[in-house]
Structure 1
Amino acid sequence: MKKIVLACLSVMLAAVFLAGCGQDQNQAASSSSSSDKGGKIVVGLDDNYPPMGFRDENNEITGFDVDLAKEAAKRLNREVEFKPIDWSSKEAELKSGRVDVLWNGLDITEDRKKNMLFSDPYMDNRQILFVTKGSSINTLADLQGKTVGTQSGSTGEENLNKDQALKDSLKEVKAYPDYIAAFMDLENGRIDAIVGDEITGRYYMNKHPDKFEARDIVIGDVTSFGIGFAMDNKSLRDEVQKVLDEMKKDGTMAQISEKWFGKDITKKD
């Protein structure tokens, strides 16, 4: 009787073990399909970064990059999900697989190339100064002893950190979770200037023309926006790049640009 009981227990344990293995394999297969076998594409973005990606009056995520991603996913016959993330932790989000791509005014830099794959650049961007209307700040020298804001984890912050002489001349550099918060503090006099993306800053400035001005003072090198992918996800990068090239060739990318900026400011080569 003991032998029969032991035999039955062995069979039961083996069945449970095999079922567990099968479930794990199915889960793994399901996970891998999300990014490289035609499943849903999860886009990581800062949802407070107009006009690239932000929430409208109905709390819906919209923007230039959002429209690009939707059109790309449509052409790939794939679902797309937009997942707001802490932009200063974007590399970790991508590496962990919590998002499949970073698509939100992401500057292509040499440091970032060490941690992710990029699409071809599709738009140029500069980091310039934004000040309040009528500000006496007109040159870099005028920033001496002033408090400057920028977004945490942004190219603006990177450029300020690289220019040690400029940074040392400032009273303080304040890093914000997003540029909207920085502009609010600028308006309220808590900071004296912002170093930020020209495209985003001018968009916000144009919404409040009586409050802010741009200074054509470039901090750091001119950069280009690209889409970021995990280092081991070349297949998804190639899929997306293919449809981006199609969108550029047939004029769809230009149309989306005209919708958001009033003209086509995307790269042509």
Structure 2
Amino acid sequence: MKKIIGLVLLVIMAGAIFAGCGGADTKAPAAQTKKKIVIGLDDSFPPMGFRDDKNNIVGFDIDMAKEAAKRLNVEVEFKPIDWSAKEMELNGKRIDALWNAMNITEERKKNVLFSDPYMESKQLIFVLAGSPIKGAADLAGKAVGVQESSIGDEVVSKDAKLKASLKDLKKYPDCIAAFLDLKAGRIDAIVTDEILGRYYMSKEAGKYVAIEKPMGEVGVYGVGFRKDDKELRDKVQAALNEMKKDGTSAKISKQWFGADIVR
């Protein structure tokens, strides 16, 4: 009797094993669909991404990301990060993308997969109205502010002659602090993105002056993704292409800049 029961159990177990193997061979696990994109940003970078008087994160890049996520049928979360650690946040998978006026550079391309460029980026010198500074040569002996790990920081730091001529190169966690110090006379000039600098100029008419000649090469902004996340990059790029084609990106640009400056 025990032998009969043992044989029956053996047959049942064997059937289960073969059924399981057959299922594994014929049916692959369903692909995981991303339901939410987490965007990393510096929330003190107006007008691209910053907090309004109600502490909501707003800006040009915010509106662009929301529209792209809507077209992809996914949620979007905006996560403020330490911008100097942006690549670590991205590749540590704490965020899915960097979308905050991020300049595309050859150095960054080593660790980040970028979208197509969507806007030009110029680094300009900003000073108080009435300043004797009229160009880069006039920065000698002056205290200059930059946002740490920004392109402005790179432009000044890589120019050995310029850097050596400065009285001080002060690095800030964000440009709001830099402009506050400029306004208070604690520094003499700021080197930063044209778009951000002109935003501050518009808020206090006549307070600041932009030196029109760009510092370094004219760059471009792009959305950054992990190198192995080409699928997400391509989906977002397709949404951006649609937005450009149907005029949505132009509409968002005009709301923030008064003109269509999207590439």
Q: Any residues of structure 2 matched to 1:219-238 within 5 Å, and which? A: 219-238=215-234
Find out whether 1:165 has 2:161 as its counterpart: yes
Matched with 2:139 is 143
1:173 Cα offset (Å): 0.7
Structure 1 equivalent of residue 256 of structure 2 = 260
1:103 aligned onto 2:99: yes
TM-score (norm 2): 0.87
2:88 and 2:156 map into 1 onto residues whose CA distance is: 23
> Residues 175-220 of structure 1: CA distance to partner in whole angstroms, max 9, x if unpaired?
1011111000000011000000001100111111132111113111
Q: Which residue among 73, 78, 82 is the counterpart of 2:74?
A: 78
For structure 1, the residue ranges without an aligned partner over 5 or more in a row are: 1-28
**2:180 and 2:105 mapped to 1: Cα distance?**
28
1:19 is matched with: none
In 2, Cα distance between the equivalents of 1:199 and 1:139?
19
| Superposition map of 1:98-137 within 5 A | 98-137=94-133
Structure 2 counterpart of 1:201: 197
- The aligned residue for residue 241 of structure 1 is 237
Distance in 2 between the 1:228 and 1:141 partners?
34
With the length of structure 1 as denominator, give the TM-score of the two structures.
Answer: 0.85
* Distance in 1 between residues matched to 2:184 and 2:258, nearest whole Å: 30
Q: Deviations over 1:211-241 (max 9, x none)?
A: 2111113111100000000111011000000
1:65 matches 2:84: no
TM superposition shift of 1:109: 0.4
| 1:153 alignment partner in structure 2 | 149
CA distance in 1 between counterparts of 2:112 and 2:137 reads 36
1:67 maps to a residue whose letter is: D
For 1:176, the aligned partner's letter is Y
Give the aligned partner of residue 43 of structure 2: 47
Deviates more, 1:115-124 or 1:208-217: 208-217
Q: Which runs of 4+ in 1 moved over 2 A?
A: none
Q: In terms of Rg, which structure is larger?
A: 2
State the distance in 1 between where 2:44 and 2:137 align: 31
Counterparts of 2:204 and 2:100 in 1: how far apart (Å)?
22
User: How far apart, in 2, do the equivalents of 1:198 and 1:223 lie?
Assistant: 11
Cα distance in structure 2, aligned partners of 1:110 and 1:180: 27
Provide the rounded CA distance (Å) in 1 between the counterparts of 2:241 and 2:200. Answer: 29
**AA partner of residue 105 (structure 1):** A
- Secondary structure class of the residue paired with 2:125: strand
Q: Following TM superposition, by how much is the alpha carbon of 1:39 offset from its aligned partner in structure 2, in angstroms?
A: 1.5
* Long gaps (5+) in structure 2: 1-28
Q: Which residue of 2 aligns with 1:185?
A: 181
Give the structure 2 partner of residue 3 of structure 1.
Answer: none
- Shift of residue 38 of structure 1? 2.7
CA distance in 2, matches of 1:94, 1:145: 38
Q: Report how far residue 161 of structure 1 moved.
A: 1.4
Aligned residues: 234
CA RMSD across the alignment: 1.2
2:89 aligns with: 93
* SS of residue matched to 1:65: helix
Deviation at 1:246, TM superposition (A): 0.3
